[in-house]
A and B are shown apart, each in its own frame.
Chain A
């Protein structure tokens, strides 16, 4: 679903100095490879019983995270769901910190106190991964309200899945953001399945987010979520709108989840051939081809692949060697005084 402009540019074999440019494209390629390698490693480590608890992978959905992170400026804020590893990595959080949290080691992002579903790195603008469906849409509104009130130019970006569009908080947040004209971008990653059930089976409209936009006076935006360039350009327009004080955007990105909903799910409910068809449009494959079409040397691409592989390998070894968290953190940070005392 590349735009006519994309196709024209790709055909011409130029475009390195177009609106995106080589440097940004290489950055977005690298982000996608980091996510792919780290998520695949998380899955492998789960099979070795080294990743504990649950995990929700974004294999196949890398372009959404890379395209949005590519369009973000420092200070912009990300709000993620439990399927949040990709968006956390896309903001530059070290792979070791993410894998360490998944492996419940002391070197993890939250030293094992949050787990896979709650990745948070305030220093990177990752304001949390929320495991209650829909909860973070109003929270992102609040962060955007602060920006509006303070006259700050940062934008809050809230990522969620197709299933979220059927919960009340989605609708409350969309209306609230539109009425208050908040600088917030709602990004629906439609991977066709709410957990195990096809989203079409449980939703009154064909496009769960885009077809709801008009209810909140918003433009209907439905894009190819497997093409990082398309995502990037759409994101940029939404950031521009938000920073200009013109309010929120709701963007539905069509994509596909290669693995099951969570680690417990073999995804046997999918029709035969569906996964293979989507893999023909694999976001990293698309992007690698585009870089080559634009004249990027293959060596540059394979070097990125090798560098990322080494980062993920090194992170894996560091996490395997890291100790579990110390027991004394069980009672820290319940309250702002650092402790957990509820009485004198």
Chain B
């Protein structure tokens, strides 16, 4: 067992998979010699050499297209798109090419690749370097989408993503890179499509993803300490495949549902979960499900403004408290 940062977990996760399988290769902007703009790939170039860890030009379409061509013909590429906002300049691959090639070819074409990207707010970078784009990806049939909230999950889910035969979008949260967590020694392999109950409780279910997970946990402790409200916190982890059984199981126990989403409100993943719960668990509810989201806004840069728009532990706790009428 060692304490590791989320950033170092990314390095360890990639290294674990590159050590295991020589067909795993890694490409992106500034990822090799410079070790990544977030320093999340430091040492990989030195460890695995210039044939397997490759710097690219600022050409996001070339990066994702090359990853796809390599994946189709037998490699297992990991491609980095520096900021998830840049998905917008290479979205053809994410929306049209990766996820549809297998279907359109009647199963002939395979696309086993991982796109890692820095997602989310908190760095005061403004509206084009801070977005949470999980909902851009979740809506596309044929993709898988995961977003770890802690170092152990970074390694385990990254390993699962690399070993998965489908294209996986792997969303790393920029504001989590410096956070620490306990990580067991040895190989870690998790499974996609599994949510985790991180805190057990009986009064309300709070579903959260990535940076919103530690905030939901903090809110839960506050609610317990200050109001005696006992919340269950579910780390959704994987949007596609979606572990609805864990979420519905928790609702059956607590009878209330809150989602905490960093993405702007419209078409956020929480809306899908609420919709599923309404269809399949309506009579389990003691009150309406509530979505706690970033408002439907571009993100402002200034710290005082950005801090207001993202869901905070205080906003989560206050929303739950009011909703439960305590």
Q: Are A113 and B104 in contact (CB under 8 A)?
A: yes
Given contacts A169-B65, A336-B102, contact A145 B92 (CB under 8 A): no
Tell me if A28 is interfacial: C-beta within 8 Å of chain B: no
| B103-130, CB < 8 A from A | 103-110, 112
List, in ascending order, chain A residues with CB within 8 A of B142's CB: 334-335
For A180, give the chain B residue with the smallest CB separation: B54
| Range for the number of chain B residues in contact with chain A | 35 or more
Query: Which one of A122, A142, A329 lies within 8 Å of B69 (CB-CB)?
Result: A142
Segment touching A, from B39-47, B173-181, B238-246, B318-326: B238-246
Docked pose: A180 CA to B61 CA in angstroms: 15
Tell me if B56 is interfacial: C-beta within 8 Å of chain A: yes
Given contacts A111-B106, A122-B105, A333-B102, contact A146 B244 (CB under 8 A): no
Segment touching A, from B11-19, B72-80, B219-227, B303-311: B72-80
Tell me if B297 is interfacial: C-beta within 8 Å of chain A: no
Q: Are B68 and A149 in contact (CB under 8 A)?
A: no
List, in ascending order, chain A residues with CB within 8 A of B70's CB: 142-143, 145-146, 149
Tell me if B62 is interfacial: C-beta within 8 Å of chain A: yes
- Of the listed residues A114, A147, A338, the one surrounded by the most CB atoms of chain B closer than 10 A to its CB is A114
Given contacts A77-B73, A113-B106, A333-B103, contact A141 B65 (CB under 8 A): yes
Q: Are A344 and B243 in contact (CB under 8 A)?
A: yes
State how many angstroms separate the Cβ of A180 from the closest Cβ of chain B. Answer: 8
Query: Which one of A113, A134, A141, A344 lies within 8 Å of B66 (CB-CB)?
Result: A141
Docked pose: A122 CA to B104 CA in angstroms: 13
Q: Are A172 and B106 in contact (CB under 8 A)?
A: no
Tell me if B51 is interfacial: C-beta within 8 Å of chain A: yes
List, in ascending order, chain A residues with CB within 8 A of B242's CB: 342-344
List, in ascending order, chain A residues with CB within 8 A of B62's CB: 138, 141, 169, 172-173, 175-176
Beta-carbon contacts of A50-71 to B below 8 Å, as 1s and 0s? 0000000000000000000000
25 A-B contact pairs sorted by A residue (CB < 8 Å): A77-B73, A113-B105, A114-B106, A120-B104, A120-B105, A120-B108, A122-B105, A127-B109, A128-B109, A134-B61, A138-B64, A138-B93, A141-B65, A142-B69, A142-B70, A143-B69, A143-B72, A145-B70, A172-B61, A173-B61, A340-B141, A343-B242, A343-B243, A343-B276, A344-B242
Q: Shortest 9 CB-CB distances between A and B: which pairs?
A: A138-B65, A142-B69, A336-B165, A142-B66, A172-B59, A143-B69, A110-B106, A333-B107, A172-B62
